[in-house]
A and B are shown apart, each in its own frame.
Chain A
Amino acid sequence: MKALQVLEPGTQTVYTIDVAARLAQVPRRLIVLYYKHGLVASVTDPAGNGWYFDDEAIRIVRRIEYFRSVCGMNLAGIKLVMALTDEVERLRAELRFHHRT
């Protein structure tokens, strides 16, 4: 039997903006644009330490691309949807916490 491929996703890995752009398959300037609109966060302060992004940021960038090209949304709409999704997730978690009391 063929040995199983073992994958070790490094959840603590951080990427420079160039690597993040390559992984998310978007131009570097788009990540900067999304950062400026507060859609994606850098794990460090770009003013002091440069841009560094984690896997969550890659996922968010991919999700923004999905909203843009499949759902035909603009940045204002995406911002609204992402804020609402985050809020729903937070409230769901809180509700689940209280249901289990």
Chain B
Amino acid sequence: MAVEFKDYYKTLGIERTATQEEIKKAFRKLARQYHPDVAKDKKNAEEKFKEINEAYEVLGDPANRSKYDNLGANGGEAGAFRNAPGRQGRGRRGTGGEENVEFHFDGTGFSDFFEQFFGRGGRFDGTNEFGGPGVGSAPEAGFVQRGSDFESDIMVTLEEAVTGSERTVSLQRVDRRTGEARTQTLKVRIPPGVHEGQAIRVAGMGEDGIGGGASGDLYLRVRLAAHPEFRVRGSDLYYGLDLAPWEAVLGSRVIVPTLKGQVSVRVPAGTNQGRQLRIAGRGLPIGRTGNQGDLYVVINIELPPKVTDQERELWEKLSQISDFNPRKN
């Protein structure tokens, strides 16, 4: 099965020469526009949001971006990737010179292209891959073996991590004995409180066992979608707040978004660049404890891009009367 090449630059509407900063800006702009919570056409917006997120997952990381650029250089069209360097896993196993897809996921929020080259999924079992029965071969009499476990990433938005959600995942697999493909569609409830990297075990949905052996399990590994406003560390959220220099010096009151509506935050006078203001309990749920992580507001002082004559005069006056020297020590 050929994997369709994804043009992530096109998805984000940027040039191939874009800087990391431009990529981030393009992602934020589009993610705000298509965020399922704000868009009117929710169904299409959700699809688009996932596409944007997938593109950012690859292009937002310089190592992944360079790997992706090399893939593009090797052809950039369907079918050109079979011999491309990188991940070739995903349960593919050649038998008799033919390539057979043993399992294939849909509805996880990631495309086949992403799964193949940037995903963490795979097939894990306790059997010997080379010695085990292949497609078309009959198992030996009395041979009992548990089926393999399947693993795949699933994209979960921060909002879904808070409230939980229900996702339709389809799983196509090839019967080892007959070679026939069958597709099973499941609705899986993602419980609230999941965290990055958590494996959700869907019992018995892995590969069928052999000779009456138990079926393997399906593990859906949570990959939290990038959010236009927040970054995640554990169960804490981080929000970058831009302040004018005088707001930081004099103090101010600003409106800050959270996952559950906006809050008003008092920025104390004399707040320095990089200072973190903690808003308790506005982060992500902490596993099974019933507690919530915190939201950290990280201060970023922005200078005005240009100053008027009057402003310049005031800054000059300030520089004359102030005895502050940041390099004194």
Interface positions, chain A 72-101, Cβ under 8 Å from B, are 89, 93-97, 99-101
Known: A11-B191, A100-B231. A70 touches B146 (CB 8 A): no
CB pair A95–B202 under 8 Å, yes or no, is no
Answer whether residue A9 sits at the interface, using C-beta atoms and an 8 A cutoff: yes
Q: Which of the 9-residue segments A33-41, A44-52, A59-67 touches chain B?
A: A59-67
Residue of A9, A25, A66 with most chain B CB atoms under a 10 A cut-off: A9
Known: A4-B185, A93-B196, A101-B231. A9 touches B202 (CB 8 A): yes
State in angstroms the CA–CA spacing of A96 and B238 once bound together. Answer: 13
CB pair B127–A69 under 8 Å, yes or no, is yes
Interface positions, chain B 197-227, Cβ under 8 Å from A, are 197-203, 205, 214, 217, 219, 226
Residues in B with CB closer than 8 Å to A4 are 168, 185-187
CB pair A6–B126 under 8 Å, yes or no, is no
**What residue of chain A has the Cβ atom nearest to residue B200's Cβ?**
A9
State in angstroms the CA–CA spacing of A10 and B201 once bound together. Answer: 8
Interface positions, chain B 154-196, Cβ under 8 Å from A, are 166, 168, 185-189, 191, 193-194, 196
Answer whether residue B305 sits at the interface, using C-beta atoms and an 8 A cutoff: no
- Count: A-B pairs, CB below 8 Å: 92
Distance to closest chain A CB from B283 (angstroms): 14
State in angstroms the CA–CA spacing of A23 and B201 once bound together. Answer: 11
Known: A5-B187, A23-B203, A62-B124. A11 touches B198 (CB 8 A): yes
State in angstroms the CA–CA spacing of A56 and B217 once bound together. Answer: 12
Query: Per-residue CB proximity of B115-142 to A under 8 Å, as 1/0?
Result: 0000000001111110000000000000
Q: How many residues of B contact A (CB 8 A)?
A: 42
State in angstroms the CA–CA spacing of A65 and B186 once bound together. Answer: 27
Residues in B with CB closer than 8 Å to A95 are 61
**What residue of chain A has the Cβ atom nearest to residue B191's Cβ?**
A11
**What residue of chain B has the Cβ atom nearest to residue A10's Cβ?**
B191
Answer whether residue B240 sits at the interface, using C-beta atoms and an 8 A cutoff: yes
Answer whether residue B96 sits at the interface, using C-beta atoms and an 8 A cutoff: no
Residues in A with CB closer than 8 Å to B185 are 4
CB pair A59–B191 under 8 Å, yes or no, is no
Residues in B with CB closer than 8 Å to A97 are 231-233, 238
Residues in B with CB closer than 8 Å to A10 are 191
Distance to closest chain A CB from B59 (angstroms): 10
For A70, give its contact among B129, B193, B198, B201 (CB under 8 Å): B129
Instruction: Please provide the 6 A-B residue pairs with the shortest distance between their CB atoms, ordered closest to farther.
Output: A55-B201, A65-B126, A6-B187, A8-B189, A12-B288, A66-B124
Interface residues of B (CB under 8 A from A): 20, 24, 60-62, 124-129, 146, 149, 166, 168, 185-189, 191, 193-194, 196-203, 205, 214, 217, 219, 226, 231-233, 238, 240, 288
